[in-house]
Structure 1
Amino acid sequence: MKSREHHEQDRSLRIHQSVARQLGIAILSGEYLPGHVLGGEIGASEALRVSRTAYREGIRLLTAKGLLESRPKAGTHVTPRSRWNMLDPDLLAWMFLSGRPDPRFVRELFELRGLIEPPAAAMAAARRTDDHVRQLRAALDIMREEGLATAEGRAADQRFHSTILEAADNELLASLSSSVGSAVTWTTRFKQERSIDPRPSFADHLAVFDGIAAADPVRARAAMEELLRLALEDMGITGEPEAGAANASPNPGA
């Protein structure tokens, strides 16, 4: 049985994560722009109705993610967008929870996935084990039964993509699994919420699976490229930025 002290530590952990989430969403939504100085620790913790310790730990978490910086006598301020760790799974989630995500951000997220997942699918086709094939098949079965409108189906979708990175048998690629998995989860959820009648993507995933199971790198890569292209198209977002958008900043002060 946990001691009272351990229960207090667990409670503090949950609270400081909630503080980080609340402030993180405020930053990513543009409520707090780069350069914005947060209030003092005492006033801010009282406003959030949390202890100073929980508030301080929440600030440390956001600092580690690149969203905040603290300086003596200058206080704690929001950093430029260029310093944010955009591949952090929490930041990816908060970006979608902050409201309607910027189309440019969603497009760039798919561009990143396009650089990672098609080559990973090709490598997985060449290096996968029988166990990897079984894991992919199991994830597909759940996706077919549950669909992507359910939490179970989306979790299976995430496992499908994460297993491909694992099957690529490249330690550096595998280290991106949590980031790619978060991107898969939130873009899929966004697509489901955005569309009145979202197009089923089971066949697209099955094509990727068939290429990997057949140990055909070219086929697996092409299938993953098509899956990503169709997913972006389903969200009504073009694959190319508008003229001048490349130099534009989604948030002032970035």
Structure 2
Amino acid sequence: MTAAPAPEPTKRRRRAPRPRSLRLHGTVARDLGIRIVSGVLEPGEILEGEIAASLQFSVSRTAYREAIRILAAKGLVHSRPKIGTQVSPRREWHLLDPDVLAWIFVGEPDPALIQSLFELRRIVEPDAARLAALRRSDAQLARMKDGLDGVAEHGFATEIGRRCDEAFHSALLEASGNDFVVSLTSGVATAIALTTAFKQHRLPAPHDALPVHLAVYEAIAAQDAQGAHDAMARLVERGLSDTMEARDPGSQGAMRACC
């Protein structure tokens, strides 16, 4: 009896390579985004026309148009008939968008933006910690502890350590049980990761923030709402003073005087 022929090996279907324009538009959007948030391109300024800009960036007009669409979706630019593409006023920027936050911290972040970011954290996070102390589940508490254990093992100076810190804050915001607070998780967690990395790269000996994080966790674990609020408020204030010192070492004394 003739043996049946062996089945042909299944051929792996190769994914078609992405068009070059789709790989380039993100780079163009990042370049323009950094120029906008750093003030090189000011609100109201009109960007170059599509043809000139595509030549400047050495990309196709399709790639440039896609980059502009990305920036428009983040509130950084808007197009007006017969005028062109303009830089939007700052009040229209989606400042908690992870890309926009990352672009802010590429160079020297505007101190007014840093202050505004930490004002938001002051408003949101202490009361989120208060609610988390009252509403957290055992699973959410375990995620917070796992995050801090990771920070203790890897440190804030490493990317994995900062991801563990981000996991702690994300679990805390989720534990608040408030859908509007939870909706801020991505932006707030990204802001915390970026400011932490900024401090670690700029300060020769940054303060160890782990004990203050542990104080927040312990209050939440003990269901001490006021203690959790106060510990988180201290954590946010420490973050602000360290970030301002990292941006301008001469500001340390002034920050301590006012805070």
TM-score (norm 1): 0.88
8 Å CA contact 1:107, 1:239 repeated in 2: no
Q: Distance in 2 between matches of 1:168 and 1:217?
A: 11
Q: 1:44 aligns with which of 42, 53, 63?
A: 53
Matches within 5 A, 1:59-208: 59-97=68-106, 99-208=107-216
Identity %: 49
1:104 to partner: Cα distance? 2.0
**SS of residue matched to 1:196:** coil
Structure 1 unpaired stretches of 5+: 242-254
- TM-aligned CA distance change 1:202 to 1:60, over 3 Å: same
Q: Whose Rg is larger?
A: 2
Secondary structure at 1:126's aligned position in 2? Answer: helix
- Give the one of 23, 32, 41 matched to 1:32: 41
Cα distance between partner residues in 2 of 1:80 and 1:135:
39
Unaligned runs of 5+ in 2: 1-12, 246-250
Does the residue aligned with 1:197 lie in a helix, a strand or coil?
coil
Between the aligned partners of 1:77 and 1:193, the Cα distance in structure 2 is 34
What CA deviation, in whole Å up to 9, does each residue of 1:155-211 have, x standing for no partner?
Answer: 111111111111111111111001101110111112112211101111010001101
1:240/1:187 CA distance change after superposition, 3 Å: farther
Does the 8 A contact of 2:21 with 2:59 survive in 1?
no
C-alpha distance in structure 1 between counterparts of 2:138 and 2:36, whole Å? 45
| Structure 1 residues 185 and 191: CA distance shift in structure 2, 3 A | same
User: Which residue is equivalent to 1:214?
Assistant: 222
- Secondary structure at the residue paired with 1:8? coil
User: What CA distance in whole angstroms lies between the structure 2 residues aligned with 1:170 and 1:12?
Assistant: 41
Instruction: For 1:38, give the aligned amino acid.
Output: L
Task: Report the CA distance between 1:239 and its aligned residue.
Answer: 7.8
Q: Tell me: CA distance 1:240–1:184, structure 2 relative to 1, closer, same or farther (3 Å).
A: farther
Separation in structure 1 between the aligned mates of residue 87 and residue 99 of structure 2, nearest angstrom = 17
- TM-superposed CA distance for 1:12, in Å, is 4.3
Residue type at the aligned position of 1:117: E
Secondary structure at the residue paired with 2:18? helix
Aligned partner of 1:247 in structure 2 is none
AA in 2 matched with 1:207: A
Runs of 4+ in 1 over 3 A off after TM superposition: 11-14
Change (3 A) 1:13 1:172: farther
Distance in 2 separating the partners of 1:34 and 1:194? 29
1:228 is matched with which residue: 232, 236, 245?
Answer: 236
Quick one: distance in 2 between partners of 1:94 and 1:165?
24
- The offset of 1:101, in angstroms, is 0.8
**Alpha-carbon distance in 1 for matches of 2:43, 2:233:** 35
Deviation at 1:240, TM superposition (A): 9.1
Higher relative contact order (CA 8 A, sep 6+): 1
Letter in 2 for 1:233: S
Aligned length: 237
Match of 1:8 among 8, 18, 22: 18
